[in-house]
């Protein structure tokens, strides 16, 4: 139905509800003469007279009454639906789908309980996935990934502090095989590697020191993007692996693993919450972004 049809039908319904061109015109925000012209266009297009007009009153014709019997309930349903939609736009509600790297799970575990308690009408669905996905095509409201892998057309909000990768090995392994003094020495060690989240090609371990940057294509008996599996490989003394410092925190604290070449792995920008557009952003997503920012600020070290 063309928009002009909808406007004419709304005008017809308003006249019937108010029984007056003047009052109906005031409700619609138009002049009585403009309203009269709108209704004449509708009658001309339908080839039916819909209203009996006098100087004092207006009433539907038989054709107008038949149209009104079906039109008025339908318009009331439409207007109720629009009112509900506007109301939901004022209070955060509905389903929120977030596609997030597993690296973001500790952050989400910390913020979600408070967020859900504050917004009981929001239902959050978290889909853990390390591969970089098209969140628009996948039907997601937002995603959480490392900032360096995001497309340039996404709006990205940092939600965590810097991250750091570490080369890790068991003390017994390093005593037996020797401790690498330079990233190129890793080529002489069996390593548990991982793949790129974008195309699943082998990830070359990245290093930087004093302006020198290099990538090392390590080799070994294991490739796995699950950090727990790679860390188990290293704990068993089978070789070295590469993992985020936070993933290895327990092993580092216990001494089960030690960092190798830490001077070659400086921190880099961490997790970002990203979404396609600020235009007509759902209130649930707006509330989630605000909560994520607040949680990230609260977790940031002072000073």
Tens of pLDDT, residues 220-253: 999 999 999 999 999 999 999 999 998 999 999 9
The whole-angstrom separation of Cα 71 and Cα 6 is: 11
The whole-angstrom separation of Cα 100 and Cα 271 is: 10
CA distances from 220 to 214, 236, 244 (A): 19, 14, 19
**Is the pLDDT confidence value at 157 over 70?**
yes
**Is the pLDDT confidence value at 4 over 60?**
no
Q: How much is the pLDDT for 121? A: 93
**Is the pLDDT confidence value at 196 over 90?**
no
**Is the pLDDT confidence value at 277 over 80?**
no
**Is the pLDDT confidence value at 302 over 70?**
no
Residues contacting 87, CB < 8 A, separation 6+: none
**Is the pLDDT confidence value at 2 over 60?**
no
| Neighbour count for residue 135 (Cβ, 10 Å) | 21
Q: How much is the pLDDT for 83? A: 65
| DSSP letter for each residue of the chain | --HHHHHHHHHHHHHHHHT-HHHHHHHHTS-HHHHHHHHHHHHHHHTS--EEE-SS-EEE-HHHHHHHHHHHHHHHHHHHHHHHHHHHHHS--EEEEEEE-GGGHHHHHHHHHHHHHH-TTEEEEEEE--S---TTTTT-SEEEEEGGGS-TTSEEEE-S--B-EEEEE-HHHHHHH---SSGGGGGGS-EEE-B-TTT-PBPPEEEEETTEEEEE----SEE-S-HHHHHHHHHTTS-EEEEETTTTHHHHHHTSSEEESGGG---B--EEEEES-STT--HHHHHHHHHHHHHHHHHSPP-
- For the domain covering 3-90, report its CATH number: 1.10.10.10
Q: How much is the pLDDT for 56? A: 73
Q: Is it true that 94-162+269-299 and 165-264 share their CATH fold?
A: yes
Average pLDDT score, the chain: 88
CA distances from 158 to 76, 246, 267, 274, 300 (A): 45, 17, 15, 9, 12
The whole-angstrom separation of Cα 174 and Cα 106 is: 30
Tell me: domain 94-162+269-299, CATH 3.40.190.10, correct?
yes
Task: Provide the residue count of the chain.
Answer: 303
Summarised one tens digit per residue, pLDDT across range 88-131 is: 556 788 999 999 998 899 899 999 999 999 999 999 999 998 88
Q: Mutual orientation of helices 21-28 and 3-18 as an angle, nearest 10°? A: 130
Q: To the nearest whole percent, how much of the chain has pLDDT over 70? A: 90
Each domain of the chain, given as residue ranges in start order, spans 3-90, 94-162+269-299, 165-264
User: Which two three-digit tokens encode residue 78?
Assistant: 């439409």
**Is the pLDDT confidence value at 185 over 50?**
yes
**Is the pLDDT confidence value at 266 over 50?**
yes
Fold (CATH) for 165-264 = D-Maltodextrin-Binding Protein; domain 2 (3.40.190)
Minimum mean pLDDT range among 128-137, 148-157, 200-209, 269-278:
148-157
The whole-angstrom separation of Cα 299 and Cα 289 is: 15
CA distances from 97 to 113, 126, 212, 257, 271 (A): 16, 6, 41, 37, 17
């Amino acid at each position: 139905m063309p928009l002009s049809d909808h406007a004419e039908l709304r005008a017809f319904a308003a006249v019937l509800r108010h029984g007056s061109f003047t009052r109906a015109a005031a409700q619609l925000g138009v002049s009585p003469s403009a309203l009269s012209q709108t209704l004449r266009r509708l009658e001309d297009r339908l080839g039916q007279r819909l209203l009996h007009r006098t100087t004092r009153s207006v009433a539907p014709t038989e054709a107008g009454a038949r149209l009104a019997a079906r039109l008025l309930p339908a318009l009331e349903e439409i207007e109720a639906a629009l009112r509900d939609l506007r109301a939901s736009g004022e209070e955060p509600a509905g389903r929120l789908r977030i596609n997030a790297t597993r690296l973001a799970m500790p952050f989400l575990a910390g913020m979600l309980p408070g967020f859900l308690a504050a917004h009981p009408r929001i239902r959050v669905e978290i889909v853990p996935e390390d591969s970089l996905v098209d969140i628009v095509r996948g039907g997601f409201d937002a995603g959480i990934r490392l900032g360096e892998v995001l497309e340039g057309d996404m709006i990205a909000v940092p939600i965590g502090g810097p991250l750091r990768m570490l080369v890790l090995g068991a003390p017994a392994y390093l005593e037996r095989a020797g401790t690498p003094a330079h990233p190129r020495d890793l080529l002489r060690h069996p390593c548990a590697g991982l793949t790129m989240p974008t195309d699943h090609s082998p990830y070359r371990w990245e290093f930087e020191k004093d302006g020198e940057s290099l990538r090392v294509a390590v080799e070994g008996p294991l490739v796995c993007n699950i950090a727990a599996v790679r860390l188990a490989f290293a704990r068993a003394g089978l070789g070295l692996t590469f993992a985020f410092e936070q993933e290895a925190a327990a092993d580092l604290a216990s001494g089960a693993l030690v960092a190798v070449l830490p001077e070659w792995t400086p921190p880099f920008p961490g997790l970002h919450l990203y979404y396609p557009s600020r235009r007509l952003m759902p209130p649930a997503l707006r509330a989630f972004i605000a909560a994520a920012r607040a949680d990230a600020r609260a977790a940031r070290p002072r000073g």
